Amino acid sequence: MKAVIAAAAVAFLISLFGTPVAIRVFTALKAGQPIRSIGLASNQGKKGTPTMGGVAFIIATVFAYVAGHLALTTLPERQIAQRGPTMTALVLLGLFVFCGVVGFFDDFLKVRRRNSDGLSARGKLLGQALVAGGFGVAALYVASSNGQTVASEHISLFRDISWLDVGKVGSVLVFVFVITAMSNGVNLTDGLDGLATGASTLVLGAYAIIGYWQYRHWCADDTYARANEYCYQVRDPLEIAMIAAAGSAACLGFLWWNTSPARIFMGDVGALGLGGLIGGLAVATRTTLLAIIIGGLFVLITTTWVIQIVSFRTTGRRVFRMVPLHHHFELGGWSEINIVIRFWIVAGVCVAIGLGLFYSDFLAANG
């Protein structure tokens, strides 16, 4: 617990006090957010607000991970496998950083061209797929000394589903789908001040709880094997808990400056990075299908976006006034702050349901 708390505290402080530095730097570089001319009139006043703020909480999370490992030096000898950087950390932080890099190129092109046209949709998806594919191979093919890998060859809900074995190649493809879907889901949600940041704080916090719970009931700890209690077959759960807690706290520090009226936007560098990290956490904790519930707000916004596109292209009619979904409510007369708070509530309810189901499964397994 000491390492998790240390990582979260360091991430929060670096993000809280580092974001104003990012605001000054990106303002000086004239890295202002372009706003689409066909967008909502209420958003035109945000034009020029510095973007790429996701760099701040990504850096904060990486430094916090190092700080968490400094706290691990006091752990008992039986936990020494957790002390050095692991493949789990390399995969999760790698997804966070390199999905962020794809978003950075998108943001850079928008700023340079002074319009909202960054990377093409195909180019963005290709970049995400390459990043996810590379780390997916590492997650499936690089095993620890006891044969454990970061990802599994099975589809998972609360743990691996034994009869849903898709093999290593199939698992890499699932990995790529989860990462690209979640990163685009967070990106679509990032449309109002603080909306994606607050929702990501909640989701990452949920994965910090799941990771730490799995660490306390870890099959590598023979205490549970001797007691014949249910344990979790995951790799490096303490690493998972530290990174998720650090990411959540870093988002919270960033949220101080990102709430309405936002002083800085996370940009695609932040949105794609967060989505990559959340997707990686879902795979690493063996809760891939449960992520649909925990990240329910992102899934809802993505689903309604797909419905709108399909409906318009097939029938010429719109189901919603405008997508992503938060803009539908803006056009319905809701204020930005009301939408953000109510969507945070939806995200919180989804997280609570997801954690409740996760814990209920544990109780049933030990019943």
Q: What is the pLDDT of residue 348?
A: 98
Q: What is the pLDDT of residue 85?
A: 78
**Nearest partner of 346 among 222, 215, 189, judged by Cα:** 189
Instruction: Please give the annotated binding residues, written as ranges.
Output: 187, 268
Question: What residue numbers bound the domain in which 243 lies?
Answer: 1-365
Which single residue is written with the structure tokens 């996760």? 358
- As beta bridge partners, residue 232 has 218
**Nearest partner of 92 among 249, 251, 273, judged by Cα:** 273
Q: What is the pLDDT of residue 98?
A: 97
Task: Report the predicted TM-score, pTM, of the whole model to 2 decimal places.
Answer: 0.93
Q: What is the pLDDT of residue 80?
A: 43
pLDDT in tens, the chain (367 residues): 888 999 999 999 999 999 999 999 998 888 776 766 555 655 656 777 898 999 999 999 999 999 888 777 665 544 444 556 789 999 999 999 999 999 999 998 888 877 767 788 899 999 999 999 999 999 999 887 667 899 999 999 999 998 899 999 999 999 999 999 999 999 999 989 999 999 999 999 999 999 999 998 888 766 655 555 788 989 999 999 999 999 999 999 999 999 989 999 999 999 999 999 999 999 999 999 999 999 999 999 999 999 999 999 999 899 999 999 999 999 999 999 999 999 999 999 999 999 999 999 999 888 6
Three-state SS string over 226-243 comes to: HCCCCCECCCCHHHHHHH
Q: What is the pLDDT of residue 77?
A: 47
Domain count, the chain: 1
Instruction: Please give the annotated binding residues for Mg(2+), written as ranges.
Output: 187, 268
- Residue 250 CB neighbours (<10 A): 36
